[in-house]
Amino acid sequence: MKYILQTKNLVKSFGGVHAIDHLSINIVEGQITGLVGPNGSGKTTLINVLSGFFPHDSGEIIFSGVNRNKILSWENQIYNITRTFQQIRLFEQMTVLDNILVVLTERSPIYSLFERHTQYHLKCAEDILRKIGLHEKLSHRASDLSYGQRKLLEIGRVLAMNAEIILFDEPFAGLFPETVKKIEEIIQNLKQEGKSIVLVEHNMAIIRKLCDHLIVMDAGKLLAEGHPEKVLSEKIVLEAYLGE
């Protein structure tokens, strides 16, 4: 069993309150790991720390055996990690196609509007749009898409990164069933390609369906971990997370 991502005694505080409290977890390569817990348990803070959007106060973060004492978000491509956000982040006035191309070609948004795209990049972008079901929208502005389509486009940008570790922060929130099914299919395909996925999600049916391993957080600490069915039946989890 190979760990692609680890934290050891990780700490992140805000105003003296530990959002992440000496957290030690292991993410197995090639698996889908669910990350759940009640509101305020530290899940999104952990995603923000792992992706370099927040600095951590102490502890270790290890990617494929490399200790990252200081994480900078722009270095994520070097470490083969990418993420989605709860609040969708797109280039609103750019087309759907250009939102993908700007990731594929590693250019700034300004240059991407004026440079000629190679046939290779165009083909890759169109293939991604077909995978996420947005090919017919490729010439539309991102701002004109529905909420579900915007979620899919953000995930398309993640696919364009071709990272080995993907952090999904509540990708199913507020979506219609058909879009949920599409994103489930995308995540399952990523696993089949050997990608390692961390999935923050509140829907336990989705967690049970997709995840190989489950981590439960409470008040910034590790509460329980293991196979989803086993963990979700534990009394301590039912009391803390499900309120039973």
- Per residue in 114-149, pLDDT (tens digit) is 555 578 889 999 999 999 999 999 999 999 999 999
Helix residue ranges, H only, 82-203: 96-104, 109-114, 119-131, 147-161, 177-192
What is the average pLDDT value for the chain, to the nearest integer?
90
pLDDT for 88: 86
CA–CA separation, 171 and 190 (whole Å):
14
pLDDT level of residue 12 (50, 70, 90 thresholds): very high
| Mean per-residue pLDDT, 67-90 | 78
Q: Which residues pair with 199 in a beta bridge?
A: 34, 168
Please say whether the beta carbons of 49 and 20 come within 8 A. yes
| Mean per-residue pLDDT, 51-64 | 91
| Mean per-residue pLDDT, 78-94 | 86
pLDDT for 238: 87
Instruction: Report the relative pairing of strands 165-169 and 81-83 from DSSP bridges.
Output: parallel
The answer to whether residue 70 scores a pLDDT higher than 80 is no
Instruction: Report the relative pairing of strands 81-83 and 58-63 from DSSP bridges.
Output: unpaired
pLDDT for 72: 67
Q: What domains are there in the chain, each with its CATH number?
A: 1-80+163-244 (3.40.50.300), 90-162 (no CATH)
Query: Of the ranges 11-15, 75-79, 89-93, 212-216, which one carries the lowest mean pLDDT score?
Result: 75-79
| Mean per-residue pLDDT, 188-208 | 96
The answer to whether residue 227 scores a pLDDT higher than 80 is yes
pLDDT for 203: 93
CA–CA separation, 236 and 200 (whole Å):
19
The answer to whether residue 59 scores a pLDDT higher than 90 is yes
- Angle of helix 96-104 relative to helix 119-131, nearest 10 degrees? 120
Q: Which two tokens stand for residue 231?
A: 């963990």
pLDDT for 244: 47
Instruction: Report the relative pairing of strands 221-226 and 58-63 from DSSP bridges.
Output: unpaired
